[in-house]
Amino acid sequence: MTDTPLSLIRNFSIIAHIDHGKSTLADRLIQTCGGLTEREMTNQVLDNMDIERERGITIKAQTVRLSYPAKDGKTYVLNLMDTPGHVDFAYEVSRSLAACEGSLLVVDASQGVEAQTLANVYQAIDAHHEIVPVLNKIDLPAAEPEQVRQQIEEVVGIPADDAIEISAKTGLNIIGVLEALVTRLPPPVGDADAPLQALLVDSWYDAYLGVIILVRVKNGRLKRHSKIRMMSNGATHTVEQVGVFSPAMRPLDDLGPGEIGYINAAIKTVADCNIGDTITDDRRPASQALPGFKASIPVVWCGLFPIDADDFEKLRESLGKLRLNDASFHFEAETSAALGFGYRCGFLGLLHLEIIQERLTREFNLDLIATAPSVVYRIHRTNGTEEELHNPADMPDGSLIESIEEPWIRATIMVPDEYLGPVLTLCNDRRGRQVDLTYVGTRAMAVYRLPLNEVVFDFYDRLKSVSRGYASFDYAMDGYEESDLVRISILVNLEPVDALSFIAHRSAAETRGRSICGKLKDLIPRQLFKIAIQAAIGGRVIARETIGALSKDVTAKCYGGDISRKRKLLDKQKEGKKRMRQFGKVEIPQTAFLAALKMDA
Ligand SMILES: Nc1nc2c(ncn2[C@@H]2O[C@H](COP(=O)(O)OP(=O)(O)OP(=O)(O)O)[C@@H](O)[C@H]2O)c(=O)[nH]1
């Protein structure tokens, strides 16, 4: 039984720009509250996926319940919801925030306010949070707490007089943070006697327990063995376990209002648990659902194909396993003449794509080819119908298209003054439209509208390189607009290579087409006949390269009769063949696809 009075509960998130020290602070809070021993602290506990740890970024929202004996003599329950820092996972931030009453806003005192600091703060303000600014890394000689304080007031627009100066690394003033949580954040409100209303904050698959659901109880009590009902679809389940993370799972009898914890109810897949849904008691249901939050929609799609066709089944299984834990990731079967059988997969953004791809390679041991990422276009046909296009290869013939719309984003870029010029040039080159440009001291904040299509290829990389790594970037989807878009097909000896076709604005078509043809020319080995590589829009060729013929006999070098040597060479050639794709008469090595797909035009 948990009967902590509401006045002794505080639910909070930590929001920060990437690398400003959110996870380090979370670990310190856990350690200070006695949740873990020094030895257990060796790894950041909240970042529990390998890839997260390696890249030092937080992906999945995690939660932990702390017990803090405050200076006022009372012991408080502090529920910490971790939030991811990367733009791709903004929706996970919003759902964590919906479960809390307040936020710690962590700003690196040596770096100042960055693009994601702002984006996250706005989400916290939307969620009606009380926000406590925390200036971290005060131990660094480059820390400028006074300036950053001023920045928070000017740029973020919240008072920063009583921002708390800390070093999450050395542990300096962690008590100050804990006291601020207790004294400055409001306790949750709720009625233990009302019908149950619990927000489904997250769910994931555990190999032993099945689906685990993270909940925030708003009203009523969520009890073990009770029958719950999902308000979105009426599905009922019997609760097998109720508990909290401290940070290990600790079973309890029930969760009361204001509490954050987990339940497990023999649910088969996370797809049955709609995030944002309201859970109620089947016997005494609530009359109204809680306000949910926006569902996550994949905005970037690409094809994933096994290099070895025999791995197709394994790929299907692996994708299914990943999906068990990540309902925001989508996949459907796809066939490509160039790459064989594979899957068209939808992601929340480029980082999400990269993470899934990396997990497939690393955890599932798959060798994959990914086609160029594409956004979701809206096609209006001349016959009046409308459709969404996830794959450039499926684009209908130009004569059937009335118009095409593409998704736009609203991007916020913060950058030191001296690098502003090249950043603006980059945005303009990518068809960006400036919305706003303001200064905070020597830092500029540029707000641009940009077509997502221009951002998915290499925008981050370019932005980082033109600003020497100093620019920070955040974006939100910002509607669709009609645009003059064309599909560029790549033809090898007149055969279209579907995996290489892509959609671009007409003004960029020729440059990109030429760049791909040029790359392929260097990558496709000469063969016994001439090979023409062309880029075309419909029937019109816009770029062309030719690879001259060559006669090649791998065994020619082996004069004399060294048969074993000869055989070895032939075997080697066969091995090489596995990695080739037959294209009409032409064989294209996998490496050519990989390189051609890395577009940097
Ligand atoms: N000098 C100093 N370094 C710190 C402090 N806090 C964190 N760091 C370092 O800053 C880096 C980033 O810290 P993290 O806690 O991983 O940052 P994060 O905000 O959680 O990053 P994401 O999980 O990627 O969003 C790490 O190398 C930390 O060791 C601090 O108070 N002082």
User: DSSP string of 545-570?
Assistant: EEEPP----TTTT--TT-HHHHHHHH
For ligand 1, whether the C-beta of 349 sits within 6 Å is no
Mean pLDDT of the chain: 84
Within a 13 Å sphere around the CA of 479, how many CA atoms are in the beta-carbon half?
A: 4
What residues of the chain score a pLDDT lower than 70? 1-2, 35-62, 84-92, 270-271, 292-296, 325, 551-585, 590-591, 594-595, 597-601
For ligand 1, whether the C-beta of 104 sits within 6 Å is no
* Entry field: residues in the chain: 601
Instruction: Tell me the CA–centroid distance for residue 139 and ligand 1, in Å.
Output: 12
For ligand 1, whether the C-beta of 116 sits within 6 Å is no
Pairing of strands 236-238, 227-230: antiparallel
Instruction: Tell me the CA–centroid distance for residue 86 and ligand 1, in Å.
Output: 14
Instruction: Tell me the CA–centroid distance for residue 440 and ligand 1, in Å.
Output: 24
Bin 276: left if φ > 0, else alpha if -120 < ψ < 50, else beta.
left
For ligand 1, whether the C-beta of 197 sits within 6 Å is no
Pick the CATH number of 6-184 from 3.30.565.10, 1.10.10.10, 3.40.50.300, 1.20.140.10: 3.40.50.300
For ligand 1, whether the C-beta of 51 sits within 6 Å is no
Instruction: Tell me the CA–centroid distance for residue 60 and ligand 1, in Å.
Output: 17
DSSP string covering 477-538: EEEEEE--EEEEEEEETTEE-GGG-EEEEHHHHHHHHHHHHHHHHHHSPP-SS-EEEEEEET
Among 23, 46, 87, 111, the mutation site with the greatest number of ligand 1 atoms within 8 A of its Cβ is 23
Please tell me the distance from the alpha carbon of residue 330 to that of residue 303, in angstroms, as a whole number.
Answer: 11
Instruction: Tell me the CA–centroid distance for residue 539 and ligand 1, in Å.
Output: 54
Buried/exposed code over 360-391 (b: 16+ C-beta within 10 A; e: otherwise) = beeebebebbbbbbbbbbbbeeeeeeeeebbb
Is the full-model pTM beyond 0.90?
Answer: no
Question: Which residues are known binding-site members for GTP?
Answer: 19-24, 136-139
Q: Which fold has domain 300-371?
A: Alpha-Beta Plaits (3.30.70)
For ligand 1, whether the C-beta of 167 sits within 6 Å is yes
Please tell me the distance from the alpha carbon of residue 179 to that of residue 185, in angstroms, as a whole number.
Answer: 10
Q: What are the DSSP E strand ranges found in 259-400? A: 260-264, 278-281, 300-306, 330-336, 340-347, 368-370, 374-375, 377-381, 386-389
Nearest atom of ligand 1 to the alpha carbon of 47: 23
For ligand 1, whether the C-beta of 18 sits within 6 Å is yes
- DSSP collapsed to 3 states, 101-158: CEEEEEEECCCCCCHHHHHHHHHHHHCCCEEEEEEECCCCCCCCHHHHHHHHHHHHCC
For ligand 1, whether the C-beta of 14 sits within 6 Å is no
**What pLDDT does residue 129 have?**
94
Sign of CA dihedral 471, 476, 482, 485: positive
Please tell me the distance from the alpha carbon of residue 117 to that of residue 93, in angstroms, as a whole number.
Answer: 12
Tokens in use for 490? 């790549």
Instruction: Tell me the CA–centroid distance for residue 270 and ligand 1, in Å.
Output: 31
CB 120 within 8 A of CB 127: no
**Residue owning the nearest CA to atom 32 of ligand 1:** 137
- Rounded to whole angstroms, what are the CA distances from 579 to 571, 574, 591, 593? 13, 9, 8, 11
As a whole-number percent, the residues of the chain with pLDDT over 90 amount to 46
For ligand 1, whether the C-beta of 85 sits within 6 Å is yes
Tokens in use for 92? 């996970």
- What is the second-level CATH architecture of the domain 197-281? Beta Barrel (2.40)
CB 499 within 8 A of CB 336: yes
For ligand 1, whether the C-beta of 140 sits within 6 Å is yes
For ligand 1, whether the C-beta of 22 sits within 6 Å is yes
Instruction: Tell me the CA–centroid distance for residue 489 and ligand 1, in Å.
Output: 45
Nearest atom of ligand 1 to the alpha carbon of 167: 31
For ligand 1, whether the C-beta of 421 sits within 6 Å is no
CB 67 within 8 A of CB 453: no
CB 466 within 8 A of CB 429: no
Please tell me the distance from the alpha carbon of residue 131 to that of residue 112, in angstroms, as a whole number.
Answer: 17
Bin 31: left if φ > 0, else alpha if -120 < ψ < 50, else beta.
alpha
**Residue owning the nearest CA to atom 27 of ligand 1:** 19
**What pLDDT does residue 363 have?**
84
Question: Which residues are known binding-site members?
Answer: 19-24, 136-139
**Residue owning the nearest CA to atom 10 of ligand 1:** 21
CB 102 within 8 A of CB 185: yes
Angle at 87 between CA 84 and CA 88, to 5 degrees: 85
Instruction: Tell me the CA–centroid distance for residue 131 and ligand 1, in Å.
Output: 20
Instruction: Tell me the CA–centroid distance for residue 24 and ligand 1, in Å.
Output: 5
Please tell me the distance from the alpha carbon of residue 337 to that of residue 499, in angstroms, as a whole number.
Answer: 8
**What pLDDT does residue 295 have?**
62
Which residues lie closer than 8 Å to 377 by C-beta, 6 or more apart?
Answer: 388, 389, 395, 404, 405, 406, 407, 485, 503
For ligand 1, whether the C-beta of 125 sits within 6 Å is no
Please tell me the distance from the alpha carbon of residue 509 to that of residue 489, in angstroms, as a whole number.
Answer: 10
- Delimit the domains of the chain by residue range: 6-184, 197-281, 300-371, 378-483, 487-597
**What pLDDT does residue 517 have?**
92
Give which of 565, 560, 562, 526 is closest to 546, Cα–Cα.
526
For ligand 1, whether the C-beta of 21 sits within 6 Å is yes
Nearest atom of ligand 1 to the alpha carbon of 166: 31
Instruction: Tell me the CA–centroid distance for residue 422 and ligand 1, in Å.
Output: 29
378-483 has which CATH code? 3.30.70.240
Place of tokens 């096609």: 379
Phi, psi for residue 502 in degrees, rounded to 5: -150, 165
Instruction: Tell me the CA–centroid distance for residue 443 and ligand 1, in Å.
Output: 22
DSSP string covering 69-111: E-TTSPEEEEEEE----SGGGHHHHHHHHHT-SEEEEEEETTT
Q: In CATH terms, are 378-483 and 487-597 the same topology?
A: yes
For ligand 1, whether the C-beta of 137 sits within 6 Å is yes
487-597 has which CATH code? 3.30.70.2570
Among 13, 24, 60, 166, the mutation site with the greatest number of ligand 1 atoms within 8 A of its Cβ is 24
For ligand 1, whether the C-beta of 168 sits within 6 Å is yes
DSSP string covering 334-367: EEETTTEEEEEEEESSHHHHHHHHHHHHHTS---
**What pLDDT does residue 571 have?**
59
